[in-house]
Amino acid sequence: MLKFGPDQKQKPARGSILLAEPFMDDPHFKRTVILLCEHNEEGSFGFVLNNYIDAGIHEVMDGMPYFEGRISVGGPVKNTNLYYVHTLGDKLPGSIEVIDGIYMGGDFEQLKELLMNEEVPEDALRFFVGYSGWAPEQLDEELERNSWFVTSSTRTMLMNTDEQELWNELVRQLGSEYAHLANLPQDPNLN
């Protein structure tokens, strides 16, 4: 028997990965992978990992040094703001650990200085324009409707902006009984 969504055994929490269900039509979230940075009674937020823009950080924000890594559209909320996750830890005071070894935010001026001195490897920093957010209990309601699958990922995979098929790869990792979902066309009318 084919399954069209995994059993929701894993509960959402800071550091969880949300995978959009295969037929979600919302253009902001179609086949997205979201790093959940917070999930509590006040709401939830995270960053879309696999929706890139074709511009460098120095093109998006004045005064930023060149950086090789790609920029993602983190979501439709506050999409004029820049956010970042990194593996720099204590090198950026004020950063918050999301999962083991991956941090969010921190001293922006210190980050610029590290970038200018070329002290940040490409796989240590990811930039996002905007974020994805949910009101209190909204994400839980969407999970009950099977709009999202909750899973986890590796630090390497989360920080890799070269990964073209991240959604497909993570769906396959849910188990062999879900691998067929990764092969479904984005538009079922084309099948």
Q: What is the pLDDT of residues 15-54, one digit of tens each?
A: 999 999 988 889 899 999 999 999 999 999 999 999 999 9
pLDDT at 176: 75
What pTM did the predictor assign? 0.89
- Contact criterion met (CB below 8 Å) for 34 and 83: no
Point out which residues pair with 102 in neighbouring strands: 99
Q: d(Cα 112, Cα 84) in Å, to the nearest integer? A: 12
Tens of pLDDT, residue by residue over 45-90, are 999 999 999 999 999 898 899 998 899 999 999 999 999 999 999 9
Look over the chain and give the mean of its residue pLDDT values, rounded to a whole number: 88
- Residue 186 is predicted with a pLDDT of 57
pLDDT of 188 reads: 52
> Other C-beta atoms within 10 Å of 178: how many?
19
d(CA 109, CA 106): 9
Q: Which amino acid is at 27?
A: P
Domains defined along the chain, listed by start? 17-82+131-182 (3.40.1740.10)
Does residue 104 carry a pLDDT above 60?
Answer: yes
Q: Give the Cα separation of 35 and 47 in Å (integer).
A: 5
- 113-150, pLDDT tens digit by residue? 999 999 999 999 999 999 999 999 999 999 999 899 99
